[in-house]
Structure 1
Amino acid sequence: MTTSTDTGMTWPRYDQPDDLAAIEATPLADRGLPGTSYELLRRAAEQWPERTALTVLPDAASWRTPEDRTYAELLADVHQAANALHRLGIRRHDTVALLSTNCDELLTALLAAQLAGIVTPVNPALARDHVAELIRRSGARVVVTASPELDAEAFATSAALAEEGLVDHVLVLRPTAAGVTEADLPKAGNATVTYLADAAADCPRERFLGEPPAVADLASFFHTGGTTGAPKLAAHTHANEIADAWTIAANSLLDENSVVFAALPLFHVNALVVTLLAPLFRGQRVVWAGPLGYRDIALYGEFWRIVEHYRIATMSGVPTVYAVLATVPVGEADISSMRGAVVGASALPEGVRTSFETATGITLLEGYGLTEATCASVRSFLDVRRPGSVGQRMPYQHIRIVDAATGAELPAGQTGAILISGPTVFPGYVEGRDENGYQISGQGKIVDGWLDTGDLGHLDEDGFLYLTGRAKDLIIRGGHNIDPQVIEDALLSHPAVTDAQAVGQPDQRAGEVPVAYVTVGNDMVSEADLLAWASEHVGEKAAAPKAVRILDALPITAVGKPYKLPLRADATRRVLAKALIDVDGVEEIRADADSGTVTVTVTLRTRAVEAEVAGRLGDFAVPCRIVTLEGA
């Protein structure tokens, strides 16, 4: 069964797992897809010129007075901004960095940067030196940034980049619905600093004056997240983005009248692919939250009224978003337009699913993907429940489960490394740029077209995927592999535990032993209580944690995913400090995760104990460096 829209594009039925085979009976190359994000936008503007494309809220409190733009207006704005970038020297293989919280003009800037060159969206909350490293690696000489009143820290970082000579032009975005302001912008080194709207004011709106992109051209560089170590830059082609966006748009639950809610930051691939590009395929309206997105506490109090007012059909968020929404009364708001809500980025606790669905009547649809496969690779279905599964592979992408040691493919039901192939697999990471162009490497993650996701899981007999953890997070105790999720699930079953992460702690005999870190919602529970609970509820004796530590918050990456490296560093520091507790002369023991691995530095006050310290550290399989204070 297929349906057609006024684009002339035929949409297959895609709301059941059995639809997959019928969809793939038609090769992707025969579906007549646009080749690039620009072709996609231009076609949408030609088909639905007067239809509202974007509704952008200035902030949560101002949801009744948004900025609206039609598809024709969006295309004209993108032409104008792309021509401004072209005039600044941006060509097909040049990059434009974006460093801003979400706003109306940022949507234009992103699409314009992909038209004129390559876009590199960067999280403005990253450490300034990490932002600088990403800018260097991308080769961007133009940065589009928030104005001081929109995001003072983002503007300050962009100004610092200019002061250091890393960028030549700083183009500034005004807050949504701010209107024209005459405020003078601060100077920043020798760089030009001006509002993007002013730089583009006299540029043509009817067409792009430069060379438009081709299907195989690079479209974007997205960083993969990180909190301490500098993130990697993953390269995406236009073909990658179009293929993924089409499979998302093909969802039969939605049609051209469906309204999408967007609140994830635009440095996240989900925001680009799911809530910007995919709606262009069907002429859907997207309602964008204010600059803080889901971080705006006021948004939750207004959320169900927003759903009712705009007749929101779907949304995309992380589990914590739905955990909060489950506590917000729907009241008398009519939210019957919401067909389903998509959740991803991290594991969905069953308690969050149950509380949200019970409170709202809205089904949560899990998905799975990663930046290295553009965005989405697996989806679930409204009427097909597979408890514990994140869903079925999406059309034209393929999944294999292999033995991590031998590479042999494993049968259904057996856990191994998850590999993905297909048109969404990225070409590699950006390592730099020279006179021959960008240096892009798969860094060993892609072999014969198959991407090693770094995740562990298994497929059932029907091809549904079940995630069990990260390969690098495996705890290896005396040669025995321990899946940390076993420990985490046991602790999450305790009524006071709100989050849990298990990691390996160095051990003299076993190499590693498991320990766990948790957050709790009840300060009456103790670490000893939770350790006893884990010992009783972890089914495998070897997997029972040796310690459970309560923290105020568990570390996450810049895009909201669990980040265990700092916990491994903490566990390492603790065990080495205990091993050296009686050595007089130890000044400091520091375990850092900046390099992407845990490195230990032991500082001594005197060289007299150096041999003894080295001997004790040698009992642990941990890279250590010993330094002595100057003058000792």
Structure 2
Amino acid sequence: MGDRLWPTYDTPDDLAGIEAVPLGDRGLPGTTYELLFRAARLWPDRVALSVLPDGERWEQPAERSYAELLGDVHRYANMLHALGVRRTDGIALLAPNCDELITATLAAELAGIAAPINSGLSREHIAELLRRSGARVLVAAGPDLAPEVWESARELAVEAGMEALLALGPTRVGPGEPELHPIDGLRIAHVSALAAEQPPDAFVGPAPSATDLAAVFHTGGTTGTPKLAAHTHANEVSDAWMIAANGLLSDGVMFAALPLFHVNALLVTVLAPLFRGLRVIWAGPLGYRDQALYSRFWKLVERYRVTTMSAVPTVYSVLAGRPVDADISSLRFAVVGASPLPPAVRDGFESATGIRLVEGYGLTEATCVSALSFPHHPRPGSVGQRLPYQQVKAVQVTADGEWVDLLAGRVGVLAISGPTVFPGYVTDRGPDGRVLDGLGKLRDGWLDTGDLAWVDADGFIHLAGRAKDLIIRGGHNIEPAVIENALLAHPEVTAAQAVGRPDVHAGEVPVAFVTLAPGADATAEELRAWASDHVPEQAAAPKAVTVLDALPVTLVGKPFKPALRAEATREAVAEALRDMPSVTGVQGVVEDGAVVAVVGLAPGADESSVKEALGRFAITWRLELS
């Protein structure tokens, strides 16, 4: 199986040889459970997980071998089965990262369908996701892990008609567990206590098949409520293998800190390492938001001999400013994705550490990763080469909705096909279970990503902007509709549109543009405060609100957000360059659907400082002599 499972995959030229063998002949496990079982059989005594309680206690991890992890997953899955969970039932997971959450997520995919949810979403959104997920059991952070999440979970479980509410404890918890106050008609218990009563040697229920749903992940939605994307076991296993084949080494140690409600955390730092038998070092509940982690990060790399990590650009921007006070020679490369990578972040991190940033591209609807770069074969301006068995192309969408395939090098809407493309969104619950619908994103096996890009002859993807309106703040997806709906609820606002404004720290931040009713006197600051009070999460609170006489529209009267993104880009760049006398002006223009910042320079101006400032943004720009 070794040769079939691990073909040579070191350079861009290896792709054709890999695809000469059908994926079905590679010998991949059929499900995430089979993947875990295989790892426990091959490396029973190897450390699988080292989970830190928090950044302060970075030298005191809770550790489990692969054999112990499999036994714990059996216990948890058997506990869920004993509670009545069956193959098509959902298990909602509402908690920050901790040792037990990793086990619970894998067990949920074995016993039923995992439904990880961001506890930072509004209560209304969480309630709707619980309903659509079909969850019968809610696994949530207990009162000693996240008290505010636990209190919310108690209310949500009752309203959703859950059969059980199970509490997760903190990593390396001391003796004794806090009392869980009962609620009539709802089974409430500590996960660890119930699981301890179950056998660890096997799962007592029927195992899932490759075509069964493994999980449902929420992503940005067009109505404000996040959409729920379904993943089959085959989706997750095939994508995890592609990631592992690309560069995760068999003797490696991975660092993980992204939240497990995000597909990157599950695919890149849980499932892909299972293929290679890697040891994964997990940060505590705050993940990359734990400030204590940054002050010790390089020491942590040295202690655990970390070879690779995965994070968003903002993390690497912070790390670039931390003195390297340890031996980090074990760190071979670092993976970056989830939001555009500013050139200055790349240059700053690589020059400060000597570690290469490897860029990737993906989206929840294609399971997770669809393209990865090569550490030793960079392709400047690209987010990576398509992964094996995933096909990519740029298409032009005509006025009547037809797709026209574009030649290599031409910008269009990026489309993806292959074994990682999801079966659809969970739009409702019917008498026969979940109702799945592509919602216009699927066409003859191809996924419309909503991103503008061009693809070169070698399958490298070059992003050129976003056809969709999603705002990505530090890797966190924000649906503009939630901001627009909040502003439209103001009695003096007649129209509202929200877009992302480039930001050197978060990649982009939300801003909004509005029109007001005749005679209205609401100020921009009053509207910004109103929106902040009415959005479902503070990450969506706009940094600024601009009042316009009219919002831009297309020739047929449809909203034209690229013009607003261009204006937001102009404002951000102009602010960054305001103290540079050589800059004569800044424009934001829309070219081929993409936003470009055009900076005017006086004749003979020194371009270096301007380029340095522009490189801190993840934008397209050019300089022009005035």
TM bin (shorter chain)? 0.7 to 0.9
Shift of 1:315: 0.6
Query: Is the CA contact 2:340–2:507 (under 8 Å) kept in the aligned structure 1?
Result: no
Are the structure 2 counterparts of residues 335 and 409 from structure 1 closer, same or farther at C-alpha, using a change threshold of 3 Å? same
Select which of 366, 377, 388 maps to 1:384.
377
Give 2:466's aligned residue.
470
Match status 1:420 vs 2:416 = yes
Match of 1:126 among 109, 121, 129: 121
**1:46 and 2:41 equivalent?**
yes
Partner secondary structure for residue 6 of structure 2:
strand
Deviation of residue 434 (structure 1)?
Answer: 2.1
- Decide whether the 8 Å contact of 2:570 with 2:587 is kept in 1: no
Alpha-carbon distance in 2 for matches of 1:272, 1:534: 42
437-446 or 240-249: which moved more?
A: 437-446
Inter-partner Cα distance in structure 2 for 1:230 and 1:536: 31
How many angstroms apart in 2 are the aligned matches of 1:92 and 1:234? 18
Aligned counterparts of 1:424 and 1:91: Cα–Cα separation in 2? 25
Offset, 1:293: 0.4
Shift of 1:179: 3.5
Shift of 1:534: 1.9
Does residue 429 (structure 1) correspond to residue 439 (structure 2)? The answer is: no
Give the distance between the partners of 2:255 and 2:505, measured in 1 at CA: 32
Cα gap change, 1:509 to 1:37, in 2 (>3 Å): closer
Indicate whether 1:337 and 2:330 are aligned.
yes
Seen in structure 2, the aligned counterparts of structure 1 residues 536 and 255 have a Cα distance that, compared at 3 Å, is closer
Q: Contact conserved, 1:503 with 1:516, CA < 8 A, in 2?
A: no
* Secondary structure of the corresponding residue to residue 223 of structure 1: strand
Give CA-to-partner distance per residue, 1:127-186, whole Å, 9 cap, x none. 011000000001102000101221122212211112324312111011000044242112
Aligned to 1:285: 279
1:226 deviation in Å?
A: 6.4
Give the residue type in structure 1 aligned to 2:292: A
**Distance in 2 (alpha carbons) for counterparts of 1:543 and 1:249:** 35
Please give the per-residue CA displacement for 1:329-375, whole angstroms capped at 9, x wherever unaligned. Answer: 102x1111111111111110001000000000000011000000000
Distance 1:545-1:337 versus aligned 2 partners, 3 A rule: closer
1:116-155, aligned counterparts within 5 Å?
116-155=111-150
How far off is 1:213 after superposition? 0.4
Whole-Å Cα distance in 2 between the matches of residues 469 and 140 of structure 1? 36
Residue 71 of structure 2 is matched in structure 1 by: 76
Q: 1:197 to 1:518 in 2, by over 3 A?
A: farther
Selected match of 1:534 from 586, 590, 604: 586
- Aligned pair partner of 2:318 in 324, 330, 347: 324
Please list, as runs of the form range in 1=range in 2, the aligned pairs for 1:208-287 lying within 5 A after superposition.
Answer: 208-225=203-220, 229-251=224-246, 253-287=247-281
Give 2:531's aligned residue.
none
Match of 1:371 in 2: 364
The answer to whether residue 59 in structure 2 is matched with residue 59 in structure 1 is no
Counterpart residue number, 2:307: 313
Per-residue displacement from partner, 1:250-304 (whole Å, max 9, x unpaired)? Answer: 12x4322100110000000011111000111111100000010001111111111
Q: Report the residue type matching 1:76 in the other structure.
A: G
Aligned match for 2:289, one of 276, 290, 295? 295
- Pick from 162, 178, 187: which aligns with 1:183? 178
- Alpha-carbon separation, structure 1, partners of 2:570 and 2:298: 31
Q: Deviations over 1:49-93 (max 9, x none)?
A: 100000000001111110000000000000001010000000011
Instruction: Output the aligned Cα RMSD.
Output: 3.2
Look up the equivalent residue of 1:381 and give its one-letter code: F
TM-score calculated relative to the size of structure 2 = 0.78
Equivalent in 428, 442, 456 of residue 446 of structure 1: 442
Asked if 1 retains the 8 angstrom alpha-carbon contact of 2:454 and 2:462, the reply is yes
Alignment CA distance shift 1:508-1:202 (3 Å): closer
Tell me: CA distance 1:466–1:181, structure 2 relative to 1, closer, same or farther (3 Å).
Answer: same
Distance 1:120 1:182 in 2: 26
Q: Which amino acid aligns with 2:158?
A: E
- Amino acid paired to 1:402: V
Greater C-alpha radius of gyration: 1
- Counterpart CA distance in 2 for 1:462 and 1:246 is 21
Give the drift of 1:239.
0.3
Residue in structure 1 matching 2:10, options 2, 7, 15? 15
Q: 1:396 maps to what in 2?
A: 389
Q: 1:316-336, CA deviations, whole angstroms, 9 ceiling, x for partnerless residues?
A: 1111010100000102x1111
Secondary structure of 1:18's aligned partner: helix
List structure 1 runs of 4+ shifted beyond 3 angstroms. Answer: 225-228, 495-505, 507-514, 517-533, 536-540, 542-546
Gap regions ≥5 residues in structure 2: 471-497, 514-549, 599-617, 619-626
Distance 1:509 1:25, change over 3 A: closer
In the alignment, the residues of structure 1 paired with residue 590 and residue 290 of structure 2 have an alpha-carbon distance, to the nearest angstrom, of 37
Alignment correspondent of 1:349? 342
TM-score by length of 1: 0.78
Stretch of structure 1 that moved more, 423-432 or 519-528: 519-528
CA offsets 1:501-555 (integer angstroms, 9 cap, x no match): 7988714897654321689799897699999642399999x97899xxxxxxxxx
Amino acid at match of 2:415: L
Give the direction of change, closer, same or farther, for the CA distance of 1:109–1:356 in structure 2 (3 Å limit): same
Note closer, same or farther for the CA distance 1:241–1:508 as it changes in structure 2 (3 Å cut). Answer: closer
Say if 1:518 and 1:88 are closer, same or farther in 2 by CA, change over 3 A. Answer: farther
Match for residue 630 of structure 1?
none
Give me the whole-angstrom Cα distance separating, in 2, the residues matched to 1:496 and 1:441.
36
Distance 1:330 1:153 in 2: 36
SS of 2:217's equivalent? strand
Q: 2:95 aligns with which of 94, 100, 110?
A: 100
SS in structure 1 of the partner of residue 587 of structure 2: helix
Aligned ranges for residues 567-578 of structure 1 at < 5 Å? none
The Cα of 1:473 is off from its aligned counterpart by: 4.2
The 1:175–1:423 alpha-carbon spacing in structure 2 relative to 1, beyond 3 Å, is same
1:435–1:473: structure 2 CA closer, same or farther, 3 Å change rule?
Answer: closer
Structure 1 residue matching 2:240: 3-state secondary structure: helix
Change (3 A) 1:340 1:187: same
